[in-house]
A = this chain, B = another copy of it.
């Protein structure tokens, strides 16, 4: 089996509003999809409250375990935005008003004739020595400390930050995937599909039941990092479905 370079990642979404169900998260799915494109393997996602102990525990668990950690939420100007403090605490670093962030934000508010008050200055706070993640939408930067990438929760801002950040990260060999739609439910294909998976151990074959109101059909997704490996497994999945069709036809005949 070919050895491919693997880069692993976790996402930590932060916010009471996600846990109350008031806000339906859009950032996890968006970043998950983009990490797949860049060949970064997302291994785990957590959502925690705006609570310093919960954020510190989660970020420390995840940064030790995975190559890259991405957070969303809690870097705005109000009292419930405590992500910069919590990430600083997790790294044992002081949380400071970053000089360059103060300059960027100060200039932006001056241009717009808006007071750069204490609350707005909170958005310049980050762990001492952190690098910036550019924010093309509303200026206030995200930041990088160690392997942790801290971004905004507002989806338009989060997406702009992801767009700036991803091309700069170490990436792995992307996983390719092919979907084969099976008209048969999982109960029908379960056993033969297990055989196909066993015969193609260097692929990952997922089976996703879909319910359309009348009954179940199945989307079979084959994943691999090598095109030839992928094609061989897809061919066997298709042959398996043909075999089921023929068995049904001969039963009817």
Chain B contacts for A137, CB-based, 8 A = 211
Chain B contacts for A207, CB-based, 8 A = 76, 78-81
A25–B22 CB distance below 8 A: no
Chain B contacts for A118, CB-based, 8 A = 190-191
CA distance A123 to B175 in the complex (A): 30
Q: Mark A96-138, 1 if CB is under 8 A from B, else 0.
A: 0000000000000000001001111011000000000000011
Chain B contacts for A120, CB-based, 8 A = 187, 190
Which positions 150-176 of chain A face chain B at CB distance < 8 Å? 154, 156-157, 175
Q: Which of A44-52, A86-94, A141-149 contacts B (4 or more CB under 8 A)?
A: A44-52
| Chain B proximity of A38: nearest CB distance (Å) | 11
A44–B36 CB distance below 8 A: no
When all copies of this chain in the complex are counted, the total is: 2
B186–A76 CB distance below 8 A: yes
| Chain B proximity of A54: nearest CB distance (Å) | 7
B49–A194 CB distance below 8 A: no
B47–A77 CB distance below 8 A: no
Q: Mark A44-67, 1 if CB is under 8 A from B, else 0.
A: 111111100010000000000000
Chain B contacts for A221, CB-based, 8 A = 17, 22
A21–B34 CB distance below 8 A: yes
CA distance A251 to B119 in the complex (A): 20
Interface status of A177 (Cβ within 8 A of chain B)? yes
B22–A47 CB distance below 8 A: no
A211's partner among B21, B34, B114, B157 (CB-CB below 8 A) is B157
A42's partner among B20, B138, B190, B210 (CB-CB below 8 A) is B20
| Chain B proximity of A240: nearest CB distance (Å) | 12
Interface status of A183 (Cβ within 8 A of chain B)? no
Which positions 205-237 of chain A face chain B at CB distance < 8 Å? 205-211, 216, 221, 223
A29's partner among B16, B25, B42, B206 (CB-CB below 8 A) is B25
Chain B contacts for A243, CB-based, 8 A = none
Q: Which chain B residue shows the least CB distance to A192?
A: B119
A156–B211 CB distance below 8 A: yes
Some 5 contacts from A to B, beta carbons below 8 A apart, are A21-B30, A43-B54, A78-B189, A79-B193, A119-B186
8 A-B pairs with the lowest CB-CB distances in the bound complex, closest first: A119-B190, A21-B33, A21-B32, A45-B47, A120-B187, A24-B29, A78-B207, A79-B194
